[in-house]
């Protein structure tokens, strides 16, 4: 049976043998086969009611404008309460302190947390990226030392990928680790590291050989204790007044030999596997969901026809994106790494995340009576200031579309 394309790309391919001037049209695509039909299995769905009850108790009385921060909201006590229920590191094996559940269970957990606007930032990066990375590429000593403490909510992580003047071009990193007796000496700078000022560790992508012109070659990942001498963290204030983002400076930071994660020079492969976890989850479509839910409730059971149509269009866009995320969860559960698919999903998902506050702002402009609700106005104002960040964090649209083009064979 023919499966229609989701994304279709055309390009020109120059022959590599014979007449080098010969070119031919090439057509490649991502099809529905890249997003296999999947449903959340009963064992994972069974978790949903328990998670809902926990969140309702924890967030009782928390207003929408606070909940709208969701995975940007840092609350160590909430993360530890979640950990006490066994819901941090749910996919990690029990021998490392995890719950031994699958990717579908984590999907249900994350979906409910984000839909309600729970403050998950404290444990977020450790749970979503750093722990799976250490499980797959770390040494046994790293696993036994670090993973149980992530699962208990004792260790919080940040990510060290972006650098000044590089944007999302991770391959151009200049931060360098050089071998010294007994370990490594780290020098350089990272930027946009979320909650580095409240984190215990960073997993940093750095260069261990060659220069930035060597691109992906010579990159490695390191586990960096942010309390070490020579580490300086400076918060960056954004338009909302928040200081989630940070610059992190490394000046002759001495790392132990076992700070290397995985193999030296294998950092590019490892970080791409990490980004598949980062870009494929429901957080890429749910950042504005608290606002959408609040607006829908204010519209009531008999909304203005234009508002009803607007709400229907937004929900109709969210629904297939959720199915795409479930499909990628199935791929991850089967041991796959949907790099191109995750880049496509993230690009499409952040677009709807940005569209939701813009559409609701237009709707409120049409219906001045809605502007009388102070919580709606505060929540909308926050997200209108923040929504430009949605298409930056986790990779800009330009970088993502370059990845998609490479995945399609067009670059």
**Model confidence over 225-257: pLDDT tens digits?**
999 999 999 998 877 777 788 999 999 999 999
Indicate the CATH number for domain 42-154: 1.10.540.10
Residue range(s) occupied by CATH 2.40.110.10 in the chain? 160-265
At residue 69, what are phi and psi to the nearest 5 degrees?
-75, -30
CATH code assigned to 160-265: 2.40.110.10
- pLDDT in the model for residue 21: 43
What is the per-residue DSSP string for 102-164?
-HHHHHHHHHHHHHHT---HHHHHIIIIIHHHHHHHS-HHHHHHHHHHHHTT---EEEE---T
pLDDT digits (tens, 9 = 90+) for 266-282: 998 888 777 666 666 77
DSSP state of 230: T
pLDDT at 221 over 70: yes
Q: Sorting pLDDT into bands at 50, 70 and 90, what band is 17?
A: very low
Cα 153 to Cα 79, 267, 372: the distances in Å are: 6, 26, 40
Largest pairwise CA distance in the chain: 72
Q: How far apart are CA 405 and CA 387, in angstroms?
A: 25
CA-to-CA dists, residue 118 to 32, 55, 152, 318, angstroms? 32, 7, 18, 20
264 tagged catalytic: no
Assess whether pLDDT exceeds 60 at residue 56: yes
User: In this model, does residue 202 exceed pLDDT 70?
Assistant: yes
Judge whether 383 and 291 are in contact, CB under 8 Å: yes
* Residues 5 and 29 sit within 8 Å (Cβ to Cβ): yes
- Mean pLDDT of the region 25-43: 68
pLDDT of residue 91: 92
The model's pLDDT over 62-118, given as tens digits with 9 standing for 90+, comes to 999 999 988 789 999 999 999 999 999 999 999 999 999 998 999 999 999 999 999
User: Is 148's pLDDT higher than 80?
Assistant: yes
Q: Which residues of 33-50 are buried (b: 16+ CB within 10 A; e: fewer)?
A: ebbeebebeeebeebeee
Return residue ranges of the chain for CATH 1.20.140.10.
Answer: 281-407
- β-strand 157-160 against 201-207: which pairing, if any? parallel
Q: What is the pLDDT of residue 170?
A: 67
User: Rounded to an integer, what distance in angstroms lies between the CA atom of residue 8 and that of residue 29?
Assistant: 4
Q: Which of 7-21, 144-158, 236-250 has the highest average model confidence (pLDDT)?
A: 144-158
Helix or strand run (H / E) with residue 268: helix 267-279
- Class of the 281-407 domain? mainly alpha
In the chain, list all ranges with CATH 1.10.540.10: 42-154
Catalytic residue among 111, 154, 278, 283: 278
Q: Round to whole Å and give the CA distance between 104 and 330.
A: 7
Provide the mean pLDDT of the chain.
85
3-state secondary structure of 220: strand
Q: How many beta carbons lie within 10 A of that of residue 27, not counting itself? A: 12
Match 């952040």 to its residue by tokens: 350
Least confident of 32-41, 206-215, 360-369, 394-403: 394-403
Interacting residues of 319 by C-beta distance below 8 A, sequence separation 6+ = none
C-alpha closest to that of 12 among 28, 24, 27, 20: 24
Residue 165's pLDDT is 80
Measured on CA atoms in the order 111, 115, 118, 120, is the torsion positive or negative? positive
The DSSP H or E segment spanning 289 is helix 289-299
Highest mean pLDDT out of 307-311, 321-325, 400-404: 307-311
């Amino acid at each position: 049976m023919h499966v229609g394309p989701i994304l279709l790309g055309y390009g020109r391919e120059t022959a590599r043998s014979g007449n080098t001037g010969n070119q031919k049209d090439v057509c490649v695509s991502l099809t529905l086969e890249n997003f296999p039909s999947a449903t959340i299995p009963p064992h994972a769905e069974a978790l949903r009611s328990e998670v809902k009850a926990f969140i309702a108790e924890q967030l009782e009385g928390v207003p929408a404008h606070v909940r709208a921060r969701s995975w940007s909201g840092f609350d160590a006590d909430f993360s530890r309460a979640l950990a006490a229920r066994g819901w941090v590191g749910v996919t990690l094996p029990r021998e490392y302190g995890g719950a031994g559940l699958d990717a579908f269970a984590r999907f249900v957990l994350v979906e409910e947390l984000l839909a309600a606007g729970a403050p998950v930032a404290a444990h977020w990066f450790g749970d979503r990226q750093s722990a799976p990375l250490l499980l797959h590429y770390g040494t046994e000593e790293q696993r036994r030392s670090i993973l149980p403490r992530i699962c208990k909510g004792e260790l919080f992580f940040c990510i060290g990928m972006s650098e000044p003047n590089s944007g999302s071009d991770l391959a151009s990193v200049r931060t360098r680790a050089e071998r010294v007796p007994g370990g490594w000496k780290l020098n350089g700078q990272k930027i946009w590291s979320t909650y580095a000022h409240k984190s215990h560790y960073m997993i940093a992508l750095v260069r261990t050989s060659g220069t930035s012109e060597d691109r992906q070659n010579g990159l490695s990942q390191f586990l960096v204790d942010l309390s070490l001498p020579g580490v300086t963290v400076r918060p960056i204030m954004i338009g909302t007044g928040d200081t989630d983002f940070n610059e992190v400076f490394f000046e002759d930071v001495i790392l132990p030999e076992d700070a290397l994660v995985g193999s030296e020079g294998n950092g590019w492969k490892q970080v791409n596997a990490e980004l598949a976890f980062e870009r494929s989850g429901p957080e890429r479509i749910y950042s504005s969901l608290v606002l959408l839910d609040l607006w829908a409730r204010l519209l009531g059971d008999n909304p203005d026809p234009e508002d009803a149509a607007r709400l229907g269009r937004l929900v109709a866009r969210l629904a297939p994106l959720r199915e795409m995320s479930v499909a990628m969860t199935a791929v991850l559960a089967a041991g796959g790494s949907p790099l191109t698919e995750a880049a496509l999903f993230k690009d499409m998902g952040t677009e709807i995340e940005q569209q939701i506050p813009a559409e609701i702002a237009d709707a409120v402009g049409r219906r001045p009576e809605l502007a009388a609700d102070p919580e709606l106005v505060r929540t909308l104002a926050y997200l209108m200031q923040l929504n430009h960040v949605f298409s930056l964090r986790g990779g800009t649209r330009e970088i993502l579309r370059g990845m998609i083009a490479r995945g399609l064979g067009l670059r």
